[in-house]
Amino acid sequence: MVEIALNFGGQELNPTFIPTGGLSELQIFIRNALMVFIVFGAFFIVIYIVIAGIQWIMSGGDKNKLAAARGRLTWAIIGFIVILSSFFIINAIGYLFKVDLLKLI
């Protein structure tokens, strides 16, 4: 094995001590970003469902308000399905590339 060393002003710089980053740093960044998006998405979906439920209760039999609440609840459920499916798709991609993208620690 051949090692390359740089010499600046009499001081030797050995490249084995230079941090290189690489795939592990990218993996950590992607993992953290994905977990933040999933957690915030789940949080907003819960709030959206609660607002739709309150809107449903407050509709008082008005068909327009009830339709708006039902639409909001439908979109919240669709958002939940999208986040849940993205979680499984991310796990499948991680499995294919032998990288654990959603590891919590």
Entry pTM? 0.65
**How far is Cα 66 from Cα 97, in angstroms, rounded to an integer?**
46
pLDDT at site 20: 57
Residue 28, pLDDT score: 77
**CB distance 68 to 79 below 8 Å:** no
**Alpha carbons 27 and 49: distance in angstroms, whole number:** 33
What's the pLDDT at 77?
93
Model confidence over 29-83: pLDDT tens digits?
877 888 888 889 999 999 999 999 999 999 988 999 999 999 999 999 999 999 9
Q: What is the pLDDT of residue 76?
A: 93
Instruction: With a cut of 60, say whether residue 93 has pLDDT above it.
Output: yes
Rounded-to-integer distance, Cα 100 and Cα 92, Å: 10
